[in-house]
């Protein structure tokens, strides 16, 4: 059974750093499209970053609001995709979700599989 589990969320101060992890069972992330989305209270779910599988060239895309601050990466041996969040702002406060499937969907919210999310709170 395919399962995605996010971890690493918590409270962080403005300007601080945080690393989120998305671990998978039942799916090899190095051969899948994996994306991070986030949803703040009262707002729609927003694409943060995505990475395609190795055979797809490991293409990476970032949402405009996180470019230059967030970095997506993958540890193929551990089957984990990370989201390194640097210089966080209050606007980054949200529940962060990992999504994955064999096809790469970029930041379009049509992935077949989703985790339950991990909450990130940025304080001033």
Predicted local distance difference test score (pLDDT) of residue 1: 84
Tokens of 3: 């399962």
Quote the percentage of the chain above a pLDDT of 90.
98
Spell out the long-range contacts of 68-75 with Cβ–Cβ below 8 A and sequence spacing 24 or more. 72/34, 72/36, 74/29, 74/30, 74/34
For 80-89, the pLDDT digits (tens) are: 999 999 999 9
Instruction: Give the whole-angstrom CA distance, residue 31 versus residue 9.
Output: 25
Our CA angle for 66, 68, 69, nearest 5°, is 60
Query: Which residues in the chain land under pLDDT 50?
Result: none
pLDDT of residue 101: 95
């Amino acid at each position: 059974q395919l399962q995605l589990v996010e971890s690493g969320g918590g409270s962080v101060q403005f300007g601080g750093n945080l690393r989120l992890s998305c671990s998978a069972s039942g799916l090899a992330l190095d051969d899948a499209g994996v994306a991070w989305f986030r949803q703040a209270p009262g707002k729609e779910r927003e694409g943060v970053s995505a990475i395609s599988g190795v055979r797809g060239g490991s293409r990476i895309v970032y949402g405009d609001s996180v470019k230059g601050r967030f970095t997506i990466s993958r540890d193929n041996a551990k089957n984990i995709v990370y989201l390194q969040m640097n210089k966080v702002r209050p606007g980054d406060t949200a529940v962060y979700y990992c999504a994955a499937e064999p096809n790469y969907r970029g930041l379009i919210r049509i992935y077949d599989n989703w985790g339950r999310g991990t909450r990130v709170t940025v304080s001033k």
